[in-house]
């Protein structure tokens, strides 16, 4: 049982199968036995988990286990207390009210890598950064939530999944979770579900992760992880 942490660049599809007009995970990773544990839209960036174990994949994506995902969203407009309160208590979307979440303004903005292409700036309209932590995974949920409170998302970065952070990973670079990190994560999932653990029979050292054009340690740092 192994787990990869990958910083998905903007525009990359969360799939390995070829796509004529867009890049996929196969353009960045040589990991044929791994499958994404969840999705990240092509126009979103940041942390994606991949595993070679189907049971672990199901546990990560199952909403009963309530794995928290932290997003940093650059939004159009000014963030006020009313918008934060609505995001935290639940926003009515077409598919129902969202679960309670954690939301706060980020000031200063997080230190991130440059996006290619950059977002379109309009001098007359202010932008701000918002941190939103959710425990569900509806289609394009964060974008729909911010739009519902009058703050359209311009750029979206997933900064954290459970205990794992995108910190230290440049776009297009992956690393493997250590045996200790993986064991603690499995125990955390077990505690959330109240069921038996799908434990590993023996710890194994992380194997190599090959990233196209980036199979050496990254020298770029996107900045600090989510601040509590």
| Catalytic residue annotation | 41
Tokens of 52: 């070679």
d(CA 43, CA 53): 27
User: Is 106 in a helix, a strand, or coil?
Assistant: strand
**DSSP H or E stretch at residue 186:** helix 179-193
In sequence order, the β-bridge partners of residue 132 are 71, 103
Cβ count near 174 (within 10 Å): 24
First to last CA, the chain: 30
Burial letters 3-28, b for 16+ CB under 10 A, else e = bbbbbbbbebbbebeeeeeeebbbbb
């Amino acid at each position: 049982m192994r787990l990869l942490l990958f910083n998905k660049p903007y525009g990359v599809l969360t799939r390995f199968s070829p796509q004529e007009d867009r890049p996929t995970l196969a353009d960045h990773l040589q990991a044929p036995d791994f499958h994404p544990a969840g999705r990240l839209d092509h126009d979103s960036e940041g942390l994606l988990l991949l595993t070679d174990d189907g049971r672990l994949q199901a546990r990560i994506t199952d909403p009963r286990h309530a794995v928290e995902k932290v997003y940093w969203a650059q939004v159009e407009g000014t963030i006020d207390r009313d918008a934060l309160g609505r995001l935290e208590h639940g926003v009515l979307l077409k598919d129902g009210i969202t679960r309670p979440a954690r939301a706060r303004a980020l000031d200063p903005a997080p230190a991130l890598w440059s996006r290619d292409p950059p977002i379109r700036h309009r001098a007359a309209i202010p932008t701000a950064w918002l941190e939103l932590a959710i425990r569900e995974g509806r289609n394009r949920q964060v974008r729909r939530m911010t739009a519902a409170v009058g703050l359209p998302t311009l750029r979206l970065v997933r900064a954290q999944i459970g205990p794992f952070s995108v910190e230290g990973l440049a776009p297009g670079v992956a690393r493997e979770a250590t045996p200790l990190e993986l064991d603690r994560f499995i125990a955390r999932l077990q505690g959330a579900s109240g069921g038996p653990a799908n434990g590993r029979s023996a710890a194994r050292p992380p194997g190599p992760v090959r990233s196209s054009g980036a199979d050496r340690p990254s020298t770029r740092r996107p900045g600090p992880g989510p601040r509590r």
